[in-house]
Structure 1
């Protein structure tokens, strides 16, 4: 039965022999068949790698035929059905959806055709070394793959296959381009195993080949352009030039700046090309090159590169401009730090001669701009050269910083003794101006009114300790520099004063980093560093006050102070020593971890292990006492040793409290081990063995070891009977209750005594008492 649309069209005399619905259905089958065949062909071509060239060409013809039939059918529908659409909306919609689906499929098939065609052209161009055409065809293939990916309904199994093929062929092209580049630009570099130095750079050569390739079809310049343009199309040019720039900087440009005896030799050879090689000038014995020599050597290299390699335009940009952007910042920084810095005059009489260097720098940059290595008017290099007056003033302070850094990086273990009577050797300064003197008189009057609140004679005095000799010299350097600031111009005084501040800031930053490993490894150095920081902090409190009235404004108005740096130095010293204490604490715990948790000591091996661990702990504490005696202030020494001993006995207490069953023999062994600690532990609190008056620190062990009383009470319990334990508990009022809770005491009783009626009675007495927590 004919459809409603067919009946309408038949009545109007516009229907052909075959109705539209039948045509669309027939066309859909054709499209599906064609789709399957195309997919099968593409799969074979790009996934299964079967030679199906002839079949693919037939299929392409078939695709074009079906496409033309689709266009004719679409025209028929648009011209004949649309006027009567109001009579067949539902059926027309269905037909249109089917048509659109077929159109999508045809579009996809078209993309597959374009992809196949582009890949064929790519392979052909690559074989003929038409690298630009090959790169363009690869991008064309990529566009078609991207279009296929954009169709959400296109879940073709072969999509991953053609995408992989695209990736493989791109890598193939990049490989060929890289291979061609290596034939045109040949580096000879020293072995990476050789130590970097002037001698190793004498092996550096750069060969820029200008010979024709094997078949003589392309000249190097044309081939180079093709290679560079193809790399640019594939987005690899920047990476390739970046690698070249890194090698050029490291092995040729920077060595020419850094080593005065190095120069570059350019050799033109008709067959082998142009060779740039580094050579040594035997007649040159200068440590640093003059700016004019550096500029001359660099220009020779860059001009040679420009004429043989970089005078190529990529789009609207020359290759020399791309290279310049990559190397200029680092190259100019190298010129400044390795050349211009050392060319700054050391006295004012030479300042006028420095104009020659400024002119040479301007000419150097002008030549680079002509070759398009540089763009713009002002650069950091020229700006640095022109600011010679500023750099000249800064150089006056540089020697001070260099001397200070040398002291900071010297060995710390050479020490001097500091006593409370030790004072800085302050220079005699000129009398302050009248205005400053009036201010001082007012301050003195106010101080006289406060006589009733005088400080102790020991106020603002350092305790006896040892500091590094280099730190004492550093303080003397700071004093001498501040003395130079007295009577100088305002600008010079400001620079000298802030140079002194920089000295201390440098100490704060450099010493902990430079000596980091030694400060962690050697307890002796950590203690010295602690004292060094406290010594500097102590003198920074009053250093600015001593010089302030003798310095020009604004220093005399309160700017000349170092007080703000005091908390930082105190914190730095404390952190350094605390870090070392943590290292020692970890070592103590590690030694005690070998004691097998102090269990089953009736076994000989276990007892030997536990005894060895205890002896090692005592030995470590004695060793620390030896290296810290006469170095740390007495108070700090006792606190540090007390902290470490407390760590050890706390760990021993915890291990013993964890034991669930302690036999009488175990108890005796535990008591023996603990008694060793009680007898030998206090001996480490004699800061100076030859001073008998310091023996009082042994009697004050509980002040420095928080768990000392707890430990002694535990030792008593290990040998006590049940009645003695109950008596020491004394209804939560005895010494045992002060150190342990009721639950801890009951655990000890259960571990030490067998389950008897007497033990039950004792536990009841402990239980009935109110627990006490220390």
Structure 2
């Protein structure tokens, strides 16, 4: 009985398998027929994707057939799952074969189903694009791209039709982007009406490029519903395809370069709107001559342009992915434009407009509230348009910080003025008189009366216990620019004494910066003049001494009018300023000494001057040296303080006679004729020495003037006494020399060491017993 039941079941399973095999065979044949029909339907004379062209009616029928076969396959699959799997132990091999056939048929069906949907989406894209429904076209394109994002089957890159569909999808995407780009250009377009290429063909190619001043902007009509609808379609499609951000960036760049730059650099910019059959055009033209515009005009022009753009284009809202991943919100295009260029526009307004409106005087500061009000109104307008967010404080923070800005601008103007004075010529001079009152400084108010601090200094200077020279600058000449520089410092400190504490502090340090800047800029800018022109070196020396003279008391004069926390002193700057003038003048002195030494090289050590040629060379060298000293007398005597001049010319003359004496005392043999000639040369130098200390007002024939010059000569030329003694030795006898030696107690012994005098005597006199006796007394 059991064997009979097993046989019956086996027969039933065999019949079911045969029935399933028959149905699978039938489905396979129908699949092949369906593939042929799809091939026929998608092929034609001109291929849409590579070699295939779809037909809507045929594909609809094919889709129905695909659906019917899919349902039959589903039923067959369920039957296999319910009826056949129970017999796996009996027929595992046949079941695996049936499963593989089912997978293959399912894969083919999946490909056919995807191709059917792709054909329908492509038809939708073409229809929507032709009707101007770009948002629908972009939606269908995204669905088509999503459908082919995941692989449909194994080795799908070998399936030609799938490769062709992907290529056609990319072609459709690029074509849609190009259509949207063309539509955008027709909707928003820029035209330069005075481009350099058309303004003048004769323009010098080496000249700088002129800025375009006329632009024409085409926009859609704001009151046309059809154009507004088309605009929304275009913007939605651009955003969906990721192209909107690039268009907004381009629009923003053109606005900044073509429109806002004109508003920030030209005082008057006209904006004229003209309606067209399709859209409207806006003419933007810079008028009048270029100069700094005021804030009201700039804000008005920028606001008008943004209003026009907002009414025609930028009011359109789009879904924008802004918050986090997957988060979207509807924002107007104006906000997107603001994200791109708002920071640049606001920075331009601050640098090109508001910075020039910052007051530079206390009177202008009082009326600055008008600028603050206009800026607040402009800020509110930008926020209402959505160009900037409520949290944007760039403009308001700038104008509301006016006290700091005022101080900064004031200090900047002061330093710019100071630098300008430092880089002007220093040849223009003015005389500083020692007769001026010690407290006489540049007037600090309209009345010109000295302050209480100054009056105190005047009274102190009149105290009989103090010298009359107290707080006095010796008579000399200084550069006009330096006097103006010091006036600037006084006026700045006077204004600081009436300003707010914060401003006063900044202005005080601006004055300190003036003198620090002087130490850096002045010697660097005038380095060539200071090194090559002795007169300018002397002026620079006086300039530094003059500034240092005032720095001694400058801070104390304003001590009680400046904030208490300010250490109002400039004394620490004095060593640097003085050292600047001193080092420059000492360098010039060394240069002049080198020139004198170079001239004396032509004398060839004063050897053999008894020969006419050698004497002429020695005389020429001395005359050149004396001429150089005379030149210095002319350029220095009227410039330097008298005491400084006498010390300087005395040092140079001392250097000259020292070199001459060293050359003579080193000679080993001096004939009587050579001694006579040397005496004549020294007399020439001696005669010129006293003249160097005479002033222009002195009469050279006057005995008192000559006596005073002789006194200055002995005081400021340390070697002059020795110079007179060597003249006596050259022109005197052995007895006269012995008498002036006076057993080491005479004037000759005070100037000459024994060995040096012995050497000179041996060179001048022959070796006799008398000479030996004189030399023996010199110990």
After TM superposition, the score normalised by the length of structure 1 is 0.50
Q: What corresponds to 1:18 in structure 2?
A: 18
Q: What is the CA-CA distance between 1:342 and the residue it aligns to? A: 0.9
Q: What is the CA-CA distance between 1:362 and the residue it aligns to? A: 1.9
Q: What corresponds to 1:137 in structure 2?
A: 140
Q: What corresponds to 2:231 in structure 1?
A: 224
3-state SS in 2 of match to 1:206: strand
Q: 2:368 aligns with which of 354, 362, 365?
A: 354
Is the counterpart of residue 237 in structure 1 residue 244 in structure 2? yes
Matches within 5 A, 1:22-421: 23-24=23-24, 27=27, 45-51=47-53, 53=55, 60-85=63-88, 92=95, 95-148=98-151, 155-189=158-192, 190-191=194-195, 193=197, 200-210=211-221, 219-267=226-274, 269=275, 271=277, 273-282=279-288, 287-315=291-319, 316-400=330-414, 402=416
Q: What is the CA-CA distance between 1:89 and the residue it aligns to? A: 5.6
CA–CA distance in structure 2, aligned partners of residues 151 and 485 of structure 1: 87
CA–CA distance in structure 1, aligned partners of residues 304 and 208 of structure 2: 22
3-state SS in 1 of match to 2:296: helix
* TM-superposition CA deviations, 1:483-531 (whole Å, max 9, x none): 8999898745764587699999999xx9xxxxxxxxxxxxx9xx99xxx
Q: What is the CA-CA distance between 1:396 and the residue it aligns to? A: 1.6
* TM-superposition CA deviations, 1:682-724 (whole Å, max 9, x none): xxxxxxxxxxxxxxxxxxxxxxxxxxxxxxxxxxxxxxxxxxx
* TM-superposition CA deviations, 1:49-104 (whole Å, max 9, x none): 45463776665455334323321211212232344556656654554454344434
Shift in alpha-carbon separation, 1:147–1:553, aligned structure 2, 3 A: farther
CA–CA distance in structure 2, aligned partners of residues 171 and 17 of structure 1: 53
CA–CA distance in structure 1, aligned partners of residues 87 and 500 of structure 2: 102
Contact 2:268 2:287 in 1 (8 A): yes
Q: What is the CA-CA distance between 1:31 and the residue it aligns to? A: 5.2
3-state SS in 1 of match to 2:149: helix
Q: What is the CA-CA distance between 1:330 and the residue it aligns to? A: 1.4
Contact 2:213 2:262 in 1 (8 A): no
Shift in alpha-carbon separation, 1:77–1:482, aligned structure 2, 3 A: farther
Aligned length, in residue pairs: 488
* TM-superposition CA deviations, 1:526-555 (whole Å, max 9, x none): x99xxxxxxxxxx9xxx9x99999998988
Q: Which one has the largest radius of gyration?
A: 2
Aligned alpha-carbon RMSD (Å): 5.9
Q: What corresponds to 2:678 in structure 1?
A: none
CA–CA distance in structure 2, aligned partners of residues 264 and 242 of structure 1: 23
Shift in alpha-carbon separation, 1:112–1:301, aligned structure 2, 3 A: same
Q: What is the CA-CA distance between 1:186 and the residue it aligns to? A: 3.1
Q: What is the CA-CA distance between 1:341 and the residue it aligns to? A: 0.7
3-state SS in 2 of match to 1:18: helix
Shift in alpha-carbon separation, 1:479–1:386, aligned structure 2, 3 A: closer
CA–CA distance in structure 1, aligned partners of residues 153 and 412 of structure 2: 64
Contact 1:211 1:271 in 2 (8 A): no
Shift in alpha-carbon separation, 1:72–1:290, aligned structure 2, 3 A: same
CA–CA distance in structure 2, aligned partners of residues 560 and 14 of structure 1: 120
Q: What is the CA-CA distance between 1:332 and the residue it aligns to? A: 1.1
- Gapped runs of 5+ residues in structure 2? 1-5, 320-329, 428-440, 442-478, 522-527, 533-543, 574-586, 592-779
Contact 2:213 2:286 in 1 (8 A): yes
Matches within 5 A, 1:448-467: none
Shift in alpha-carbon separation, 1:154–1:178, aligned structure 2, 3 A: closer
Q: What is the CA-CA distance between 1:329 and the residue it aligns to? A: 1.3
* TM-superposition CA deviations, 1:561-618 (whole Å, max 9, x none): 99xxxxxxxxxxxxxxxxxxxxxxxxxxxxxxxxxxxxxxxxxxxxxxxxxxxxxxxx
Shift in alpha-carbon separation, 1:287–1:58, aligned structure 2, 3 A: same
CA–CA distance in structure 2, aligned partners of residues 39 and 59 of structure 1: 11
CA–CA distance in structure 2, aligned partners of residues 225 and 76 of structure 1: 53
- Gapped runs of 5+ residues in structure 1? 1-5, 417-427, 429-468, 511-523, 529-538, 563-629, 635-774
CA–CA distance in structure 2, aligned partners of residues 501 and 232 of structure 1: 59
Matches within 5 A, 1:562-601: none
3-state SS in 2 of match to 1:16: helix
Contact 2:41 2:59 in 1 (8 A): yes
CA–CA distance in structure 2, aligned partners of residues 321 and 66 of structure 1: 54
Q: What is the CA-CA distance between 1:270 and the residue it aligns to? A: 5.6
Q: What is the CA-CA distance between 1:337 and the residue it aligns to? A: 1.0
CA–CA distance in structure 1, aligned partners of residues 118 and 71 of structure 2: 20
Shift in alpha-carbon separation, 1:183–1:506, aligned structure 2, 3 A: farther
Shift in alpha-carbon separation, 1:17–1:476, aligned structure 2, 3 A: same
Shift in alpha-carbon separation, 1:357–1:71, aligned structure 2, 3 A: same
Contact 1:478 1:503 in 2 (8 A): no
Contact 2:215 2:283 in 1 (8 A): yes
Shift in alpha-carbon separation, 1:230–1:47, aligned structure 2, 3 A: closer
* TM-superposition CA deviations, 1:189-232 (whole Å, max 9, x none): 1426579999854421112244999xxxx821222121111212
Q: What is the CA-CA distance between 1:122 and the residue it aligns to? A: 1.0
3-state SS in 1 of match to 2:273: strand
CA–CA distance in structure 1, aligned partners of residues 118 and 170 of structure 2: 13
Contact 1:485 1:492 in 2 (8 A): no
CA–CA distance in structure 2, aligned partners of residues 405 and 90 of structure 1: 101
Matches within 5 A, 1:427-438: none
Q: What is the CA-CA distance between 1:289 and the residue it aligns to? A: 2.3
CA–CA distance in structure 2, aligned partners of residues 243 and 561 of structure 1: 57
Contact 1:43 1:158 in 2 (8 A): no
CA–CA distance in structure 1, aligned partners of residues 143 and 397 of structure 2: 48
Contact 1:256 1:263 in 2 (8 A): no
CA–CA distance in structure 1, aligned partners of residues 568 and 66 of structure 2: 92
Q: What is the CA-CA distance between 1:251 and the residue it aligns to? A: 0.9
Contact 2:264 2:348 in 1 (8 A): yes
Shift in alpha-carbon separation, 1:155–1:415, aligned structure 2, 3 A: farther
Shift in alpha-carbon separation, 1:101–1:287, aligned structure 2, 3 A: same
CA–CA distance in structure 2, aligned partners of residues 38 and 29 of structure 1: 14
Q: What is the CA-CA distance between 1:406 and the residue it aligns to? A: 7.2
CA–CA distance in structure 1, aligned partners of residues 31 and 7 of structure 2: 27
